[in-house]
Structure formats: structure tokens, C-alpha cells
Amino acid sequence: MKITINNSILELVVGDITKEETEAIVNAANSGLRGGGGVDGAIHRAGGPQIMEECRKIGGCPTGNAVITSGGCLKAKYVIHAVGPVYHGGEMGEAELLASAYQNSLKRASENSIRNISFPSLSTGAYGYPFDEAAPVALKTVIEYLKRHDEIGQVRFVLFGADAYRAYESALRGI
């Protein structure tokens, strides 16, 4: 599914984000930038040790924020490491922190003249955020940003399987 916001494209696809041919991919990182499983593990495996070296130098990233490294040997030139919240039922400020992780990732892109960026569904794996609650927050935040920032030309959500895709598709139709 693909929509246009001002002059920018917002697209939902099913796939593996490590294979993306775009300028920047976003990682679902932890606040220690220590690597781990899920999309984080896959990005470090595919991108090689240089990304972890840069993460160690940066040292960490608070929940709701994002930092940028090179893409190592990935096709993408940059990796933006975003730290989403752990889901504790939805009443602990999770939505604000999730929105902030998307916003700050987009800010890192704007600051680095990155026009095309691909996101995974932050916080919806190990951090336990339900897809149907995370999807509207993620999509609304990106749409708001694109309305105000025409320097970003394309945002793609790379969803890992049909369930994730369906949740995002249904949330996008509802916005």
C-alpha cells in the first residue's frame, strides 16, 4: 500500500529491512546500543562489526530517542538506531515514547540530508507492543512529520510478515 503526503511517499511493504536499498534503515535498538535479537541482531549480522564499533563510541541512547551510524556493509548508507519503549499495558507513557522514537529518527534523517528512510515496526517484538496499538501511533507520527518536512521524499515501513502488514494497512486506512 502506498500513499502520497504533500510530495512525499509513504509505503507499507512486507520484507526484511536488512535488504533495503534506501539511504537509511532504522534499527529497533536498546538504550545501551548493545545489539540483541530481532531486527537489531539481523542488522548487525548483515552490516558487519563497524556498526557496533560506532555504537560503542556513542555509548547509549535514551528511550524515545535515536542516534545515527554508518551502514557498514549494508546497502543502506546509514543506520538510525531508535529506542522504542517496552510495553507495560499502554498506560505508562508508551505511546508518547514510541511517537518520540519515530520523530527523532526522522529528525536524524533531516539533519543528515537523508531523503529516503525505511522503518521496522519499533517495539513490537521483544518489547511486546501490540501491532494494532503501535501501528496508528507509528503512522500518525510519520504522516505529521511528512506534512511539515518536504525534505523527506520517501518513508517505507518494512513489515516482517502478514500480521504486521495487515495491522499497518488497517491503521492507515483508518487515519
Question: Known catalytic residues?
Answer: 40
Residue 119 CB, nearest distance to ligand AR6 (Å)?
A: 9
Binding of residue 164 to ligand AR6 (CB under 6 A): yes
How many Cβ atoms from other residues are within 10 Å of residue 13's Cβ? 15
CA 174/CA 152 separation, integer angstroms: 23
67 contact partners, CB below 8 Å, separation of at least 6: 33, 55, 58, 61, 80, 81, 108
How many residues touch ligand AR6 (CB under 6 A)?
A: 25
Q: How far apart are CA 119 and CA 127, in angstroms?
A: 16
Q: Residues near 54 by Cβ (< 8 Å), separated by ≥ 6?
A: 69, 70
The answer to the question of residue 12 lying near ligand AR6 (CB under 6 A) is no
Member of 63, 104, 124, 141 binding ligand AR6 (CB under 6 A): 124
CA dist 55 and 164 (Å) reads 28
Our finding on whether 25 is near ligand AR6 (CB under 6 A) is no
* Stretch 79-118: interaction string toward ligand AR6, x if CB under 6 A: -----x----------------------------------
The kind and range of the H/E element at 106 are helix 94-111
Min. distance of Cβ 128 from ligand AR6 in angstroms? 7
| Smallest gap from residue 41 Cβ to ligand AR6 (A) | 6
Residues of this chain that bind ligand AR6 (CB under 6 A): 16-18, 28-30, 35-40, 42, 84, 120-127, 158, 160, 164
